[in-house]
Amino acid sequence: MALLSFDDRDGTIWMNGEMVPWREAKTHVICHGLHYANCVFEGERAYNGKIFKSKEHAERLLASAEILGMPFPYSVEEIMAAKDAVMEENGVVDGYLRPVAWRGSEQMGISAKQTTTHVAIACWEWPSYFDPEKREKGITLKTSPWRKPAPDTAPSKSKAAGLYMIGTLSKHTVEDAGYDDALMLDYRGQVAEATGANIFFVKGGELYTPVPDCFLDGITRRTVIALAKDAGITVKETKIFPEDLPTFEECFLTGTAAEVTAVGKIDDLSFTVGPLTKQLRGTYEKLVRGE
Ligand SMILES: Cc1ncc(COP(=O)(O)O)c(C=O)c1O
């Protein structure tokens, strides 16, 4: 069965300050964003009609654009208001939001200084990222042959579209081998994250997670660290090497889309969907729903 294409849907997209019918929210094939990856985006979720951490996501969108030197034509408050407006326009209550900003077509070449920045925000109803059954058993990860680049090689603090080329290559490689997602090592060979989510491990009742010095310090990551600390759980942000993996009992991913997702296997190594993963998944679910 053919998948329903994302550009062929009913609904409305906020684009450059206006509400545009979904199928007409287009940009030109010559735009700089397409040719040279001058494009940044966000992924956000709304629960019970409220966007979770809307301000943090708007701030990160503007910060990502600034890292790429892309002038951003709206304030954080304007983006927050636009997100609420597009949710209301589409009647989305529990869903996903995709703000995206890209450079236009005024200039063709590597320099983009003469281009204007376009911004669009789409939203749609969206259930859990991973198959719910897999969430209970834990998803499977395989170490990617591709690595996260050094921070002086790529703008790793920006949620820049260009960085996802590595993620897509990695995800395709591991999907071909029958795994759900890729474990990304960084340029030093340290454990970094998954392709669209951060990673945590549990050992002796304590949480371990890599230092986000060459990948996104996710909003969910920071939220889960705060929830863990509130619950009296020790959180160690530290270097983690592949040879450390057998010492951990539990493993989970965090991300807007993934929420808190248990990992059951990395390569040939098994992890239990244990008490800390379940506890933090539960507290995170309550928090996002405002309970
Ligand atoms: C590469 C990558 N790492 C981590 C994350 C998690 O970030 P957040 O929790 O802000 O969604 C994401 C998702 O945006 C991502 O794409």
What does the DSSP assignment read for 115-176?
PPEEEEEEEEE---SS-HHHHHH-EEEEEEEEEEPPTTTS-TTS-BGGGHHHHHHHHHHHHH
DSSP the chain: -PPPPTTS-SSEEEETTEEEEGGG----TT-HHHHH--EEE--EEEETTEETTHHHHHHHHHHHHHHTT----S-HHHHHHHHHHHHHHHT-SSEEEEEEEEE-SS--SS--TTPPEEEEEEEEE---SS-HHHHHH-EEEEEEEEEEPPTTTS-TTS-BGGGHHHHHHHHHHHHHTT-SEEEEEETTS-EEE-SSSEEEEEETTEEEE---SSS---HHHHHHHHHHHHTT--EEE----GGGGGG-SEEEEEETTTEEEEEEEETTEE----HHHHHHHHHHHHHHTT-
Q: Can you give the pLDDT at residue 130? A: 57
Ligand 1, atom nearest to 257 Cα = 11
Residue minimizing CA distance to atom 13 of ligand 1:
196
Ligand 1, atom nearest to 220 Cα = 9
Residue minimizing CA distance to atom 4 of ligand 1:
197
Q: Can you give the pLDDT at residue 246? A: 98
The residues carrying an active-site annotation are: 159
Residue in 216, 221, 225, 287 to alter for ligand 1 test, most ligand atoms within 8 A of Cβ: 216
Residue minimizing CA distance to atom 8 of ligand 1:
218
Domains in the chain, CATH or no CATH each = 12-125 (3.30.470.10), 132-288 (3.20.10.10)
Q: Can you give the pLDDT at residue 4? A: 76
Residue in 41, 51, 159, 191 to alter for ligand 1 test, most ligand atoms within 8 A of Cβ: 159
Residue minimizing CA distance to atom 5 of ligand 1:
197
| Cβ 194 vs Cβ 186: under 8 Å | no
Pocket (CB within 6 angstroms of ligand 1): 43, 193, 196-198, 215-216, 218-221, 254-256
How many angstroms does the Cα of residue 95 sit away from the middle of ligand 1? 17
For residue 263, CA distances in Å to 87, 123, 140 come to: 32, 28, 6
From the list 121, 123, 97, 100, the residue with the least C-alpha distance to 33 is 100
Q: Can you give the pLDDT at residue 135? A: 72
Determine phi and psi for 25, rounding to 5 degrees.
Answer: -80, 85
From the list 107, 58, 53, the residue with the least C-alpha distance to 81 is 58
**Crossing angle, helix 275-288 and helix 219-230, to 10 degrees?**
110
Q: Can you give the pLDDT at residue 248? A: 98
Residue minimizing CA distance to atom 15 of ligand 1:
196
Contacts of 61 (CB under 8 A, 6+ apart): 40, 41, 42, 72, 79, 99, 101, 159
Q: Can you give the pLDDT at residue 197? A: 98
Q: How far apart are CA 131 and CA 154, in angstroms?
A: 32
Q: Average pLDDT of each block of 10 consecutive residues along the chain (291 residues)? A: 81 98 97 97 96 98 98 98 98 96 95 96 81 83 98 96 98 98 98 98 98 98 98 98 98 96 97 97 94 81
Ligand 1, atom nearest to 167 Cα = 1
How many angstroms does the Cα of residue 42 sit away from the middle of ligand 1? 9
Residue in 147, 198, 252 to alter for ligand 1 test, most ligand atoms within 8 A of Cβ: 198
Ligand 1, atom nearest to 222 Cα = 9
Residue minimizing CA distance to atom 1 of ligand 1:
196
